[in-house]
Amino acid sequence: MTRALDKVVLPDADGLRRAAEILRAGSVVAFPTETVYGLGADAFSAQAVAEVYRLKNRPSWNPLIVHVADLAAARALAHVWPDGADALAARFWPGPLTLVVERARHLTQVGAPNATIAVRVPAHDVALRLLAASGLPLAAPSANRSEGISPTTAEHVLRSLPDVPLVLDGGPAAWGIESTVLDLTTPVPTLLRPGALALRPLREVTGEIALPDAVADGTARPSPGMSRRHYAPKATVLLMDDVKAVDRSGLAAPVTVLSYESAGDYDAAEILSADPREYAADLYAALHRLDDAGAGTIIVRTPPDTEDWLAVQDRLNRAAR
Ligand code: TXA
Ligand code: MG
């Protein structure tokens, strides 16, 4: 336990120096972003990227988002910087928006063998300082085992990835849900993953956004990473419209509940905000708590069927499969 805790360090000058050294040596470091914690690696080191896939047990077809310090660094990764990308970057970077663009020809793939690259500038002081200290573009998926619940604290990271060499502890993540992924290689920008940044502010900049049915109902895989089962706790997750009327016979005990309104009598309950942004910020931490409490079943109140809840709907649908 002491050994494990030694891996969690404060993001002070010493912590950042250690982290940058590990990254430059071709290994990996977990670090906070405004969305969730990331497992960072030198994006163009085959060895470092391979280590990310190994630690996460991530399928090789699922590519990684590259984190950079600023717009100029993002443009340097692109073959063509699409119309509209500057306006999006000016409005939302640093922030929870990932843009998929054509990859500069001289760069290697970051994961899947396609000709594109996903890039974002994170809005977190520690992430930005780590980018500066390492001088590297950092590939960083969420710092959890593949298909598990994303980490919103350093402790979540350590529990999911006990073999991680180092975790920079930046406290709880502010957004608590992953970035919105937007593909700019299509004639109309295409939403690949709903996330922290809602569609309404995005549309104010881009106009129309194509929304594959699969994003809305979680049935297909519009983005390589959108496998159907994902973001899943150990407990069985069931989505219900009326959590007070659930027949619990045959459900694995303890039967617990996650809702945004009163839920009746369960073995354990997590009642989150009825505001979608606040709910999203607490969602993963609540799922982690129910898992830690040994929940056999988590009954989840189906979220409202409005666009503001798209990212939460998506994650819960995948958790429930
Ligand atoms: O908020 C976030 O985005 C967090 C923090 C750490 O930045 N990262 C994150 O990474 O959620 P990850 O690996 O868990 O999810 C990356 C998503 C996946 O759905 C992946 O398929 C997609 O981005 N992606 C990455 N590169 C892509 C590409 N070239 N084309 C299409 N989708 C891509
Ligand atoms: Mg992830």
DSSP 150-166: PPSSHHHHHHH-TT-S-
pLDDT at 311: 97
From the number of C-beta atoms within 10 Å of its C-beta (0-12, 13-18, 19+), residue 59 rates as middle
Task: State residue 81's pLDDT score.
Answer: 97
Q: Ligand 1 pocket: which of 29, 130, 178 to mutate (most atoms <8 Å of CB)?
A: 178
pLDDT of residue 225: 52
**Distance, CA of 151 to CA of 137 (rounded, Å):** 21
Nearest CA to ligand 1 atom 17: 225
pTM for the whole structure: 0.94
Query: What is the chain's mean pLDDT, rounded?
Result: 93
Pairing of strands 38-42, 255-259: unpaired
How far is the centre of ligand 2, averaged over its atoms, from the C-alpha of 204 (Å)? 27
Residue range 211-227, pLDDT digits in tens: 976 554 444 444 555 55
128/40 Cα distance (integer angstroms): 12
Give the pLDDT mean for 189-207: 97
Predicted local distance difference test score (pLDDT) of residue 230:
75
Q: How large is the average pLDDT for residues 301-319?
A: 96
pLDDT band at 113 (very low <50, low <70, confident <90, very high): confident
Q: Which ligand is nearest to the CA of 181?
A: 1
Would you say the CB of residue 49 lies under 6 angstroms from ligand 1?
no
Nearest CA to ligand 1 atom 32: 223
pLDDT tens-digit series, residues 156-189: 999 999 999 999 999 999 999 999 999 999 999 9
Bridge partner residues of 190 (DSSP): 183, 210
Q: Ligand 1: does its nearest atom lie under 6 Å from the Cβ of 134?
A: no
Short-list 84, 136, 74, CA closest to 104: 74
